Amino acid sequence: VPIINAVFSPAESDVDWARAVVHAAEAAEQTGSGAVQLDNGDFVDVAVVRRAEDILRLAQSISNGR
């Protein structure tokens, strides 16, 4: 199982990106903004935020041994 988890785990850079996207989405929501902009200036839509959330769930699930 460890080798399978290693193969299917998202790369650390993908997890970092996903965290940044989710953080930006949460910040935009708190300010009432409908637009989500990353620190690098890129705008992302809801589908990208959902993909980022999926990556974080997958990484968490694998790290929990599920």
The torsion region of residue 37 among left (phi > 0), alpha (psi -120 to 50) and beta comes to: beta
Note the pLDDT of residue 3.
87
Q: What is the mean pLDDT of each run of 10 residues along the chain (66 residues)?
A: 86 97 95 91 95 97 81
pTM of the model: 0.86
